[in-house]
Amino acid sequence: MPPSKRVLRGRGAVPGLGEGEALVSPEPISFLGGVDPRTGLVIERGHPLKGLSVAGKVLVFPRGKGSTVGSYIIYGLKRYGKAPAAIVNVETEPIIATGCALAGIPLVDRLDADPLEAIRSGDRVVVNGDMGLVEVETK
């Protein structure tokens, strides 16, 4: 079966272009205590992505959770070269938006389709934070 492409439209919360393989979590992510900024590994006990790396991925999850210090963890991921290529949220909030703005990570939310259903881990995704577009190529 040949790959198919779909374009989702939403709100560009942080500008920029990012592309990579999708890593999708059905659960919110806490960056403080949930993601190691030096390795990019999800370390939160019981999280569905535990042990996986966010580095270079298009990270798709409902929203952030936890402390506002999580914004600085996102910035730390960028500083250590372990940041996601882009982030797609169902509905972002200040922790994720601030972290992405500090780190220059494109961020899109409020899509016209639920990204947790429209995007699967392993899909190739291009995020355009300037235009609020998410292009998904399924395998």
Give the span between the Cα atoms of 59 and 96, in whole angstroms: 12
Average pLDDT over residues 98-106: 98
Q: Could you tell me the pLDDT band of residue 1, with boundaries at 50, 70 and 90?
A: low
Token pair recorded at residue 33: 């205590």
pTM exceeding 0.85: yes
What are the residue numbers of the active site? 67
Q: Does domain 4-138 have CATH number 3.30.497.10?
A: no
In whole angstroms, what is the distance from residue 92 CA to residue 59 CA? 12
Instruction: Return the pLDDT at 2.
Output: 72
Q: What is the pLDDT of residue 3?
A: 78
pLDDT at 57: 98
Average pLDDT over residues 11-31: 98
Render pLDDT for 44-58 as a digit per residue (tens, 0 to 9): 999 999 999 999 999
